[in-house]
Each structure stands twice: as structure tokens, then as C-alpha cells.
Amino acid sequence: MEITGRRSQEVYDVVGIGFGPSNLSLAIALEEHGESTPEHPVRAHFFERQPTFGWHRNMLLPSTTMQISFLKDLATFRNPMSRYSFISYLHASNRLVQFVNNQDFFPTRQEFHQYLEWAAAGLSDRVTYGAEVTSIRPVTEAGAPTCDLLEVEVRGSDGTTRVVAAHNVVVSTGLVPRLPDGVTSDERVWHSSEFLSRFRARDPETLKSVAVVGAGQSAAEITRFFHDALPHAQVSAVVPSYGYAIADDTPFANQIFDPAAVDDYYFGTDRAREAFWRYHRNTNYSVVDSDVIRDLYRRAYDEQVRGSRRLHFRNLTRVEEVRRAGGGTRVALRSLLDDRTEELHVDALVFATGYDGLDPARLLGDFDRHFLRDAAGRHRVERDYRLVSTPDLTCGVYLQGGTEHTHGLSSALLSNIAVRSGEIADSIVLRRTERELDRRGPVQAERSAA
Ligand code: FDA
Ligand code: NAP
């Protein structure tokens, strides 16, 4: 179905950009749709720039656990009978009984990664790895009033470029690592998203003093990892708050991740949306799971008892400046308590300073001017996650991620991916049916409906 020139011989109903959990979940929803209508399956293909499936591989630290229940997997909330559920994976791995004995809703990230790899392997004919989408553009026919076709340019790992055509694309390219202004990463200054590969590239013996910036889950997990992996090293945590704050995962607060909360957020008033953020940002951002907080505090206390401290917390402190110095890095820290600055000399400095949301404009380039924005300059998005476009476009650009302003807090998370993917699959199928009926004209459409 692929094309090598400007135009295609055959056209996909949908091309998925990125093959992380969101589009993997969409591939499953589309496959299960096809099983119910084998005579008219949705033609779909996915492109993933990584050479193989991988989900935040550089943060697969030992003992880290998922922040959602295993039941919020790729499919269960949409289709509890799916063969791609976490329970099916456990069964296929001969671990279902043992998993239940564990009595834990939250698997390790290692195990969930294995589950995702297992599911991705089942759909390998629908994805091309080592394939980065570099642009999306409309195909305009001379004289046609509307455009219902897109061209997607894909660069292979060997540098070759090809173009595929589709009626819809689903952009699911994930979070974008964020470093403070003026900071760039290298072999001594790392963002948390590159942590394990940077760490493995260094001889641990050369890491005698390390520092971690931030007070979110990534920062706390990396601080704990350093403390375990570098028993000879001084480990400093540069914490912008007075101390790590707890991630609220209690039942009432957790309701903001329910599928129904998407409607409440989407159709709610501006004041309602603002209240979601004011009251519940602490379910996800700049917060840490309680077991990790208690573990870190216990370690610091034990060192105090023993009288030899190497785990240091610099609270209410932010990074002012980073300077490369010989074989190490000098970090200027400013304390918010007394406004004094202090300089640390470290062998590795990790910025666990979070991520920016997905911004489709990066991929859309010039095509972005066809998509409407709200008064605050953000993309307008329909309830079915389709970008609102000028009326001349009948082709669709859907988002998985980048919709926190329209669909709420679960947009960048796994909580709702099964239901969201189902909604996107339904929308693509429904709009395809409408397009086909339009083409056939009113008389034939009536006959088909009868
Ligand atoms: P994700 O980022 O996973 O995948 C996007 C994919 O697109 C990537 O594989 C990327 O390579 C690919 N890509 C990007 N640009 C491309 C291009 N131009 N062409 C082709 N491919 C491209 N949430 C939660 O609910 N529970 C949890 O436990 C966690 N845990 C967690 C741990 C860590 C360390 C982080 C950083 C984040 C989480 N999250 C989370 C939140 C996280 O956003 C979520 O788990 C998923 O990664 C979202 O899946 P996506 O598929 O949307 O993005
Ligand atoms: P985050 O929650 O956004 O936290 C970023 C932290 O960096 C905040 O404490 C922020 O402080 C701080 N920061 C930003 N700029 C700074 C600066 N210049 N100086 C000092 N501090 C600065 O990011 P994250 O911890 O990477 O988490 C991102 C997502 O991944 C979340 O959804 C999280 O739950 C998820 N995650 C999950 C797991 C897991 O499943 N086990 C592991 C890691 C991450 P301010 O608040 O002051 O800006």
C-alpha cells in the first residue's frame, strides 16, 4: 500500500505517527473493529522512529512501579474481552496465578514494558520501526472544493524518504523533554529522559559526586537509583519545594482520570476546567508516590543515625547556572530561603525537570494554518480528538496527547488510552461511512441504508 512517488496507488484510512502505548492501543481498537466487520476493515499503518518498540526505556529503573492499575491497560476499559489485555499477557506468560498472589494493582514498569512489547509484537505487520515522520501535507486536486487526502513523508533509518497517503493521521508523538533555558545536555549533563543510556556510558567509579534537579517522580526515582548504584558517591537532590510533595492517588481525586471526566472537562465551563487544574494538578505534576518519598527520607535518617551523610537535600533551591569545568560541571544554586548562592562541583548532573506536551504544529509546519485556534492560541480540538480545521479539509488530523486544554488531565497519561483509542477508531469509521455515502449520492445512499 505504500507509495514511492508523490501520489499513491492505494490509500490508507489512517496513518499513525508514533507507536507508543497510545497508538498501540489504537492499532488494537482498529484490529478489533476489523474482526467485527471483516468485509470492510480499516486500512491502517503506523510509523515509529525507534528501531524497536520502547516505552521510556531510559527510565526503566529497578523496582519502579506503574502509576496506574494494571486494569488500565491497552484495551480492557474499551473491551474487557480483548486478547490484548494485561490479564491475557499474564496468562500467555504463565504468571497469572503468581501475579494475583502478589495482591498488587501496580506492576513494575519493567513488567508493564514487557506487556507492551508483547502486545506490539502481535501487531508487527502494521508498524514500520526506524521510520520518522518528517511532514504532513494536504493533497490538493486542481478545482476540487475540498481536500480529503494527506501525504505523510517518512524518513527511514537509512536516510531514504518515502511518502504514503491517508485520509487521516493520528499524531501520537509523546511528551517532549524540557531543560531550563540555556541548559543543553551532553555526557555530563543529562535530562531524565536519557538517564539510563547516559549512565551506562559512564564508568560508575568516576561518578563521585552527582546531583539531581527537580521534585517530581523522575527526580525522586533517579535520586534513589544513584544512592543504590553509587555507594561511594555524594548524592545531592536540588529540590525546588520545601520537600517532595505526595502524588494524590486517593479514590475521589482519582476520578479525574475516569473516562467520564473527559466529558465533564470538555463540555464544562472555563471555571470548571480551571478548578480541575487548581484542585488536582497534584495528582500528576511535581509530585512523588508516597512509598518513594518515605524510602528516601528513611535513607537520609539512617545516615544521620550512623553519622555519615552522603544523601543531601537542598530544599527551596533552584539551579541558576551550569558551567562545564574541566572533567566536571559547576552548578550555581540559589536558595529561596536567604537568596544566597552556592556552587556544587559534580561529575554528573541530571535535570528531571519534566516535559512539554505534544505540539502538532511541529509536524504540521505550513499545513498548520488550516487548523483553528482558541483565544489563547491553542489548537481547537473536537470531542473525538480531531483538530478543528477550515471547512475545505475533509481529511482528519487526530491527536493522542497535546489535548490537556480541551480533554483534561488524562491526555498525557495512560489512564484513558483504551477508551480514547476506541473513540478515535469509531470516529474514523463513522466519517469514512459518511464520505462513502456522500460519494454515492442521495439515491444510492438511501438504497444502501435500506
Ligand atoms: P509515548 O511518548 O510513549 O510514545 C510516542 C512515540 O512516538 C515514541 O515511541 C516516539 O519514539 C515516537 N515518535 C515521536 N516522534 C515521531 C515521529 N516524528 N515519527 C515517528 N515516531 C515518532 N502515565 C501513566 O498513566 N502511568 C504511568 O505509570 C506513567 N509512567 C511514566 C513514566 C515515565 C518515566 C514517563 C516519562 C511518563 C510516564 N507516564 C505514565 C506518562 C506517559 O506520557 C505515558 O505513559 C505514555 O508514554 C503516553 O503514551 P504515548 O504513546 O502517547 O507517548
Ligand atoms: P514533573 O512532574 O513535571 O516534575 C518536574 C520537576 O522539575 C518539578 O519539581 C519542577 O518544579 C522541577 N523543575 C522544573 N524546572 C526547574 C528548575 N529550573 N530548577 C529546579 N527545578 C525545576 O516531571 P517528571 O517527574 O519527569 O514527571 C513527568 C511525568 O512522568 C508524570 O506524569 C509522572 O507521573 C511520570 N513518571 C512516572 C514514573 C513511573 O511511572 N514510575 C516515573 C517517572 C515519571 P516546579 O514544580 O517548581 O516547576
**For residue range 382-401, what is the model confidence (pLDDT) as tens digits?**
999 999 999 999 999 999 99
Tell me, yes or no, whether 404 and 348 share the same domain: no
Q: Pick from 48, 86, 116 the residue to mutate for probing ligand 1's pocket: most ligand atoms within 8 Å of its CB.
A: 48
- Give residue-wise pLDDT tens across range 336-358: 999 999 999 999 999 999 999 99
Atom of ligand 1 nearest to the CA of 355: 36
Q: What is the pLDDT of residue 443?
A: 55
Q: Is the CB of 283 under 6 A from ligand 1?
A: no
Nearest ligand to the CA of 49 is: 1
Tell me, yes or no, whether 199 and 214 share the same domain: yes
Residue 314 in domain: yes
Residue 396's contacts (CB-CB under 8 Å, 6 or more residues apart) are: 167, 168, 169, 386, 387, 427, 428, 431
Tell me, yes or no, whether 419 and 367 share the same domain: yes
Tell me, yes or no, whether 315 and 383 share the same domain: no
Residue 43 in domain: yes
Tell me, yes or no, whether 66 and 192 share the same domain: no
Residue 253 in domain: no
Residue 262 in domain: no
> Which residues partner with 333 through β-bridges?
319, 342
Domain count of the chain?
2
Tell me, yes or no, whether 107 and 230 share the same domain: no
Q: What is the pLDDT of residue 143?
A: 79
Nearest ligand to the CA of 317 is: 2
- Between the CA of 220 and the centroid of ligand 2 the distance, in Å, is 9
Q: Pick from 57, 106, 189, 218 the residue to mutate for probing ligand 2's pocket: most ligand atoms within 8 Å of its CB.
A: 218
Q: Which of 373, 425, 320 is nearest to 16 (CA)?
A: 425
Boundary-marking domain end, from 303, 330, 355: 355
Residue 6 in domain: no
Boundary-marking domain end, from 355, 373, 389: 355
> Which residues partner with 138 through β-bridges?
150
Nearest ligand to the CA of 357 is: 1
Q: Pick from 172, 190, 363 the residue to mutate for probing ligand 1's pocket: most ligand atoms within 8 Å of its CB.
A: 172
Residue 241's contacts (CB-CB under 8 Å, 6 or more residues apart) are: 215, 286, 315, 316
Q: What is the pLDDT of residue 1?
A: 37
Write the DSSP assignment of 86-121 as a string of letters: HHHHHHHTT-HHHHHHHT-S--BHHHHHHHHHHHHH
Q: Any idea what the CATH number is for the domain that residue 203 is in?
A: 3.50.50.60
Residue 101 in domain: yes
Q: How many helices (H) and strands (E) does the chain have?
A: 13, 17
Residues of the chain with pLDDT under 70: 1-10, 442-450
Residue 142 in domain: yes
Tell me, yes or no, whether 187 and 317 share the same domain: yes
- Residue ranges making up the domain that contains 324: 178-247+284-355
Residue 261 in domain: no
For 107-129, b/e burial (b = at least 16 CB within 10 A) is bbbebbbebbbbbbebbeebbbb
Tell me, yes or no, whether 210 and 238 share the same domain: yes
The ligand 2 site (C-beta within 6 Å) comprises 59, 64-67, 109, 180, 192, 213-219, 221, 240, 284-286, 318-319, 352-355
- Between the CA of 71 and the centroid of ligand 2 the distance, in Å, is 25
Tell me, yes or no, whether 211 and 109 share the same domain: no
Tell me, yes or no, whether 208 and 322 share the same domain: yes
Tell me, yes or no, whether 155 and 227 share the same domain: no
Boundary-marking domain end, from 355, 372, 388: 355
Tell me, yes or no, whether 46 and 72 share the same domain: yes
